[in-house]
Amino acid sequence: MNEQARPDGIEHRHVHEAQGSILRRRPFGLAALTLVLLPAFFGVYGSKAIVVGTGPEVRLTVEGPSRIRNGEYLEIILNIEAQSQVEEAVVLVGASLLRDITVNTLLPTPSEQGFRDDSFEFRFGRLDASDRLNVKIDAQINTNHTPSASEGAIAVADGETMLTKVDYAIEVLP
C-alpha cells in the first residue's frame, strides 16, 4: 500500500501491528474469555433438576434449575398426575424454598391460596384418575439473596391429607 492511499493518521506501523494472530496480540484477554466461557459450556453456571415423588394417589414431578445466578429469572414446572380421584388438589411449596425469591407468575391460577404448616398453599380443585395438572411458576432470585441454597419441600395433598412430597433445592451463585 503506498503512502497516498492510506487515510490521514494511519502509518505503516498501524498496518503492520494489525497483522498477525490474536494469540500474539491479546493473549491475556483471550485466556480470560476462555476461563469464563468454558465452564458455561459444560453447564457449571446453571443446571436443570428433575425430582420425582410418587404416592398411591398421585405422581409429582418437579422440573427446574438446581443452580442459578443471583438476579436471574427461573421457571419451575410441577407436573401432577392423578392415579386415583383427588377431591381437592392442593400444592404446598415450602416457605424456605421461596425465601428471597419473587414469584412473578403462577399458572394456572389457583381457586384459593393461603399459608399453612410453613408452606404456601395453592388449591386447584378436583382431579379425576388419569388427570394431569401442570403448574408453572415463573420467579426471579432477589439480588439481596446471599450465595447459598434455597431448599424446601414441594408437596401435593388432597385437602388436608398429604399424598406425596419431594425435597427441592436451588443453589444460588453470586
**Element housing 52 (H / E):** strand 47-54
- pLDDT one-digit tens code per residue, 60-109: 999 999 988 888 899 999 999 999 999 999 999 999 999 889 999 999 99
pLDDT at 174 over 80: no
Residues 9, 56, single domain; the answer is no
Same domain, 68 and 148: yes
In degrees to the nearest 10, what's the CA dihedral of 52, 58, 64, 70?
-110
Q: What is the CATH number of the domain that holds 102?
A: 2.60.40.3670
- Judge whether 90 and 60 are in contact, CB under 8 Å: no
Buried residues in 110-143 as b, exposed as e (16+ CB within 10 A): beeeeeeeebbbbebeebeeeeebebebebebee
Q: Specify whether 11 is located in the same domain as 83.
A: no
Assessment of whether the complete model's pTM goes beyond 0.85: no
Q: Are 30 and 57 in a shared domain?
A: no
Q: Count how many domains the chain has.
A: 2
Same domain, residue pair 25 and 62:
no
Q: Mean pLDDT across the stretch 139-148? A: 85
Domain that holds residue 123: 47-173
